[in-house]
Amino acid sequence: MTIEPDGAEAGAGPTGETPTGPGERGRRPSEAIEAIRVRAPTRGNRKLESLLDAVNADPEVGAWWHMAQVNSERLGMSDHSWVHVQIVLNVALRLLRLLVKAGVKPAMVADHAMRDRDAEVVVAAGALLHDVGMGIHRADHEEFSLFLAYHKLRQLLAGTYADPELGVVVSEALHAIIGHRRRGEPYTVEAGVVRVADALDMAHGRSRLPVSAGQVGIHSISAAAIDAIEISAGTERAVRVEIAMNNSAGVFQVDDLLATKLRGTPLSEHVEVVATIEGEAEKRLLDEFRIDP
């Protein structure tokens, strides 16, 4: 799987729409959410299909995604719009499926005697709502996401699960949401998957707003140094992540951001990460850098 600009898994088919991405300030909310439709390959998982149908039909969730991006733009941050959500969703499902194929048991199977497909629902739910708290405030947004997501997930999944299974699925999804913060300490494979998938949305597309706005720093420059990410089945470990860089500044994304998110999770022993610089010369990413007084 190569992470595509619109976040769709390779082979999943075209979305038929142009992802909005950064640039949502100044738009009416109804206009901003009109074209939103998050897609991912469900592979016959009807529970997952039901969740995606429900979330795409929910204007409140669309408004939360819109607000997350508005606040991101206010702060000059990287993309936190529905495009980012779709990328995280697709990457998370890809990671989970590769892990399961390699014999790794997610918590929904190991702890709750449910199925791999229920684990996909947990991962998708966590990925879809992990950043909705950004619409309230950047600081502690993961915690704000929790109280928004609790009742919403019960609504979105009401036609698919009933208690006590519904309570378990929602709780595991909330664990995935809170687990994506910097020191989230996820206990489950599902939560670890969401955490790592969030970090893997690091390609240069996420940095275009801060760089174009002149807000040049290590986060935006290092993101601009990432050309592509390939996720595939590994030979020594279940998952192999290959990161193509055009400049060594990308090491910051790999070591400080991705490695931090990967270490200490149930995924750490199952995922190998290899970053390389393509070509003989590194790309020039900025002309000068100044420290403002």
pLDDT single digits (tens) 252-291:
878 878 898 899 899 999 999 999 987 666 776 544 444 4
- The answer to whether the beta carbons of residues 210 and 216 sit under 8 Å apart is yes
Q: Higher confidence at residue 242 or residue 6?
A: 242
Domains and CATH numbers, the chain: 44-277 (1.10.3210)
* Joined tokens for residue 193: 């998957």
Per-residue pLDDT band for 141 (boundaries 50, 70, 90) equals confident
Give residue 5's pLDDT: 44
- Average the pLDDT over each of 76-90, 120-134, 153-167, 231-245 and give the range with the smallest value: 76-90
Residue 37, class by beta-carbon neighbours within 10 Å (0-12 exposed, 13-18 middle, 19+ buried)?
middle
Give residue 142's pLDDT: 83
User: Mean pLDDT across the stretch 104-118?
Assistant: 98
Residue type, 277: I
Separation between Cα atoms, residue 279 and residue 248, nearest integer Å: 12
User: Is the whole model's pTM more than 0.95, yes or no?
Assistant: no
Give residue 203's pLDDT: 66
> Nearest to residue 124, comparing CAs of 63, 182, 181, 194?
194
User: Which backbone phi and psi does 193 adopt, to 5 degrees?
Assistant: -60, -45
